Amino acid sequence: MDVIQACHDPEPACERCGRCLSVCPVYRDARIETLSPRGRLDLIRAVVQNEIQPGQRYESAIHSCLQCLGCTDACPKGVDAAGSIRTEKARMMAQSKDTALKLEALGLKLALGHRLFLARAMRIPRLVCLKPKTPPDSRNDPVIRHLPLFLPQALAGRPIPDLFPGHWADGWPAVIDPPAHRSVKGEVFLFTGCFFGFIDTRPLVAAIRVLGKNGIRIRIPRSQACCGAPASLSGHAGLLDKSCRQNLAALDGQVPVLTLCATCGNTLKNEYPARFRRDPRLGILAEKLSRRVQDMDEYLAGLDPFISGPTPLNQRAAIHLPCHLNRGMHAGTGVEAFLKQLPGLDVQLLDGADECCGGGGLCALKNPDLSRTLGHKKALAVQQSHCDLVTTPCPGCLLQIRSHLGISDSRIQAVHPVELAARTWTI
Ligand code: SF4
Ligand code: SF4
């Protein structure tokens, strides 16, 4: 697709009402108009109309957007500011001669195209970790160590996850039937995503267990690819297209496509149709897929009846709502509805549950200071909730919250909601 043409698509015009300013985490932190959604739209319009020449400050204004979708969600005129910023970033990337960006694109291309290799390469950083840290969560997972301080500012001191043994591409069956004593009540495709598919596979294993207990047959299409969100969020639109085409073929069918990761879900549901809206064939396929994509928690909440295990959890859980779940997939209420069905679990939304935690997308890498500020604020809200654990269906949010809870020496667990459901059979 011609990204420049897409940038010029007719869409509702910004009326400069300023409603989006109060929801933009970047603007709220910086209080600079050009770092607000409205300000960025003004800049893009000025560049498109040749009123200004894009320079370094322009580029950093565009790159500072976290893609939290707050502005698009809040705009009373229906302006998709987040989408315009994303498209402009893609245009800038396509025209850039910067060697570092070309290397970044090459690295992403290799990583997205060779996920197994990436999963193995992820073991290397563990060898150079200097500071083992007692994991904040009481399950004693060998999860968290800290990256050495000589690494770039964005990574210094941040925890990285251990790899968990086994992943779906490593000999797992492509079709998983419910246990023999359960009749088949439904069938789904499982989109694994990269993080839950290859790195921390506990939510994926839990989801397979919970779906099976509920009589759901699971298909895990072997040829599924990364959703493409890392490419999209960093502006490498060509790489997103490649993932998109591969997944449209791999996930073709009639049954629901379930995602465990809010960003994967948002990409499949919203970005694919947007990317291919001018392509008569792929556009129809993308729309069809979009209608089938559903967040795991929302799907489980909708089962009638949902069957949980017999063991009460006897815990209080606070919910953080990922931006891409709440404002992208509009599935935020599904998490609470699902968790309320688990025995012995008290559920409450965190204060500011829908505010960005600063961990999604590439925020920690591209905006390390803001990421730290938002992560610290979120960890504080978790601690002030006095809950036993915090739960959220997004790997970026989980890593960010675990990181900042660890920094605060908190022992509050951060887990995916479906892991809690699986525990009702195992505790
Ligand atoms: S993008 Fe929407 S909310 Fe923001 S200033 Fe323009 S019209 Fe108002
Ligand atoms: S997507 Fe989020 S960070 Fe980006 S301009 Fe909109 S509100 Fe601000």
Q: For residue 323, what are the contacts with CB-CB under 8 A and spacing of at least 6?
A: 66, 67, 68, 69, 70, 262, 354, 356, 360
What pLDDT shows up at residue 69? 96
What's the topology of domain 315-426? Rossmann fold (3.40.50)
Is 107 strand, coil or helix?
helix
Q: What is the CATH number of domain 3-96?
A: 1.10.1060.10
Ligand nearest to the CA of 37: 2
Please provide residue 60's backbone torsions phi and psi, each rounded to the nearest 5 degrees.
-70, -30
Is 85 strand, coil or helix?
helix
Q: Is the whole-model pTM more than 0.75?
A: yes
Q: Which of 28, 30, 7 is nearest to 18 (CA)?
A: 28
Q: What is the Cα–Cα distance from 129 to 24, expressed in whole angstroms? A: 35
Going residue by residue through the chain, which has 427 residues, state the pLDDT in tens, using 9 for 90 and above: 443 444 445 578 999 999 999 999 999 999 999 999 999 999 999 999 999 999 999 999 999 999 999 999 999 999 999 999 999 999 998 888 888 878 888 887 877 777 777 766 666 655 555 444 444 444 434 444 444 444 455 555 566 665 666 677 777 889 999 988 888 999 999 999 988 998 888 999 999 999 999 999 999 999 999 999 988 888 888 889 999 999 999 999 999 999 999 999 999 999 999 999 999 999 999 999 999 999 999 999 999 999 999 999 999 999 999 999 999 999 999 999 999 999 999 999 999 999 999 987 667 777 888 899 999 999 999 999 999 999 999 999 998 999 899 888 898 999 999 999 999 997 5
Q: Domain residue spans in the chain?
A: 3-96, 315-426
* 145 bridge partner residues: 132, 160
Residue located nearest, by CA, to atom 5 of ligand 2: 37
Q: What is the Cα–Cα distance from 160 to 144, expressed in whole angstroms? A: 6
Please say whether the beta carbons of 261 and 394 come within 8 A: yes
Which of 32, 34, 41, 68 best tests ligand 2's pocket when mutated (most atoms within 8 Å of CB)? 68
Is the shortest distance between the CB of 69 and ligand 2 below 6 Å?
A: yes
Quote the longest CA-to-CA distance of the chain: 69
Please provide residue 314's backbone torsions phi and psi, each rounded to the nearest 5 degrees.
50, 50
**CA triple 103-361-364, angle to 5 deg:** 80
Q: What is the Cα–Cα distance from 189 to 296, expressed in whole angstroms? A: 11
Structure tokens at 115: 């996920």
- Whole-number Å distance, alpha carbon 163 to ligand 2 midpoint, is 32
Q: Report pLDDT digits (tens) over 47-87.
A: 999 999 999 999 999 999 999 999 999 999 999 999 999 99
Annotate 335-354 with three-state secondary structure.
Answer: HHHHHCCCCCEEEEECCCCC
* 259 bridge partner residues: 191, 295
Q: What is the Cα–Cα distance from 390 to 368, expressed in whole angstroms? A: 23
What pLDDT shows up at residue 11? 74
Structure tokens at 321: 């709502």
**CA triple 387-209-120, angle to 5 deg:** 90
What pLDDT shows up at residue 158? 61
Is the shortest distance between the CB of 26 and ligand 2 below 6 Å?
A: yes
Q: What is the Cα–Cα distance from 231 to 3, expressed in whole angstroms? A: 14
What pLDDT shows up at residue 121? 67
Angle at which helix 237-250 crosses helix 81-95, to 10 degrees, equals 110
Q: What is the Cα–Cα distance from 218 to 224, expressed in whole angstroms? A: 14
Atom of ligand 2 nearest to the CA of 66: 3
Is the shortest distance between the CB of 205 and ligand 2 below 6 Å?
A: no
Q: Report the DSSP pairing between strands 159-160 and 145-146.
A: antiparallel
Ligand nearest to the CA of 42: 1
Using CA atoms in the order 89, 232, 263, 213, what is the torsion angle rounded to 10 degrees? 170
- Whole-number Å distance, alpha carbon 43 to ligand 2 midpoint, is 14
Q: Which of 142, 114, 149 is nearest to 128 (CA)?
A: 149
Residue located nearest, by CA, to atom 4 of ligand 1: 20
Is 98 strand, coil or helix?
coil
- Whole-number Å distance, alpha carbon 71 to ligand 2 midpoint, is 6
Structure tokens at 93: 């990337």
**E strand intervals along 143-256:** 145-146, 159-160, 175-176, 186-191, 216-219
Atom of ligand 2 nearest to the CA of 82: 1
